[in-house]
Amino acid sequence: MDNDQANGQARGTGRRALLGAAVLGAGGAVLGLPGAAAAAAARPAAAGHGGRGLKGLPVPTIIGHRGASGYRPEHTFGSYELALDLGADIVEAGDLVPTRDGHLVCRHEPEIGGTTDVASHPEFAGRRTTKVLDGVPTTGWFTEDFTLAELKTLRAVERIPANRPHNTLYDGRWGIPTFEEVLKWQDEQTRKRGRQVWIYPETKHPTYFRKLGLGLEERVAKLLRAHGKDGRDAPVVLQSFEPTSIQRLNRLVDNPLVVLLSSADTRPWDFVEADDPRTVADLITPRGLREIAGYARGIGPTLDLVIPRNADGTLAAPSTLVADAHGAGLILHPYTMRNENPFLPAEFRRGGTADAYGDAFGAFRKYFATGIDGVFTDNADTALLARADFLGG
């Protein structure tokens, strides 16, 4: 999830309950987190914010964006496990794209030149090509041109090394996970940690892949059913930028479903293909949100839809999206909070380098105050501390 764009009033009782809860491991022992982080990672029996949220998870919910991608190359088991170690409530384990032989793997995009070492494999030099991906000419190597066995010879690398030079230390350490491996890993981590581990996969470019005969939704549903994770209370939330993909999933499984929303002037690609003139601006009207509520549990808007930015990059006044979505019965999990200056609103930037951290705590505070139900973040530890500050008043 994420297109790399740069989210309430206090519910005192629920917030104090969150801060007072113990963080327990498998044997009932308190996990080894420092004081503030331990309080931030506490999990109440019921969500706060007036009961909104996913069953058994705190609100605002902290979602590890592609794992802990602020610290490890994204969509690797190293990134996923670190997100859990840092205390993330959910791990976005899987931007799902298919292989040539029909397996689902976890990559940010089907083009893998920027997230793997494929360019250093001379045996795959001839696979480099240009394709039109959702209307955009894109050059590189694409998962649908590789078998799973071939992809398993590749290693993951840091996608944005200019912002995260320290992450390049881990280039080549992990391979590409399959979705089935993630589902098995989820069960292993649940047993290991003594708490239910949640994941939040996304169907990536589903219209594009359906036209190639590689429909994503049926493959996702088949795997969820095989692992007993296709129910209403299953710890797997499914998301997509294409509403018709979510509608298709709604007919196949009972999992919580979330429609992702980019900038207001854009059109979901399935709408483009169907000559549907509506834009995201139409989907976030009260009428559009009520329609979404007919087949989805929530929305995942870009943060700029929650608090728009002024021309100088500073935050403007919050929009009515949170109230409108809640009025339609939807939860909101906006994306993506990152610590580095280039991704923060201008007033929270500190220093001049692309890898320097700004005042992420100040930005989190602004977004949490809108009443959002959760947030995708590359830095779960920062988010948990920010949540503790916010809930503490």
Instruction: Enter the tokens of residue 232.
Output: 């209403």
The tokens describing 299, both together, are: 């929305």
Query: In sequence order, which residues have a C-beta less than 8 Å from that of residue 354 and are 6 or more positions away?
Result: 162, 163, 340, 341, 342
pLDDT tens digits for 245-297?
Answer: 999 999 999 999 999 999 999 999 999 999 999 999 999 999 999 999 999 99
CATH fold for the domain made of 12-102+175-391: TIM Barrel (3.20.20)
In DSSP terms, 203 is beta-bridged to 96
Give the sign of the dihedral formed by CA 45, CA 49, CA 54, CA 57: negative
- E strands, 146-256, in order: 198-199, 202-203, 238-240
What confidence score (pLDDT) does residue 99 get?
Answer: 98
By the 8 A CB rule, do 110 and 204 touch? Answer: yes
Distance CA 19, CA 38 (A): 9
What is the share, in percent, of the chain residues with pLDDT greater than 70?
87
Please enumerate in sequence order all residues whose Cβ is within 8 A of that of 378, keeping only pairs 6 or more positions apart, or say none. 65, 66, 68, 69, 70, 336, 337, 338, 339
- Average pLDDT for residues 311-324, to the nearest whole number? 98
Any idea what DSSP says for residue 127?
Answer: G
Note the pLDDT tens digit of each residue in 333-352. 999 999 999 999 999 999 88
Angle 149-204-334 (CA atoms, 0-180°, nearest 5)?
135
How many CB atoms sit inside 10 A of residue 229's CB?
Answer: 17
> C-alpha dihedral over 126, 159, 238, 136, to 10 degrees?
-60
* Residue (of 114, 120, 66) closest to 93 by Cα position: 66
Nearest C-alpha neighbor of 297 from the set 350, 353, 373: 373
Q: What is the pLDDT of residue 165?
A: 98
Mean local confidence (pLDDT), 173-178: 98
Which phi and psi angles does 366 have, rounded to 5°? -60, -45
How far is 296 from 351, CA to CA, in rounded Å? 41
Average pLDDT over residues 138-163: 98
- Asked if pLDDT for residue 20 goes beyond 70, the answer is no
Partners of 298 in the β-ladder: 258, 331
Cis preceding linkage at 336, omega within 30: yes
Residues whose CB falls within 8 Å of the CB of residue 85, separated by 6 or more in sequence, listed in order: 68
**Contact, 116 vs 176, CB < 8 A?**
yes
More confident residue, 281 or 42: 281
A 10 A CB-CB count for 172 gives 15
* pTM for the structure as a whole: 0.88
Does residue 224 register a pLDDT over 50?
Answer: yes
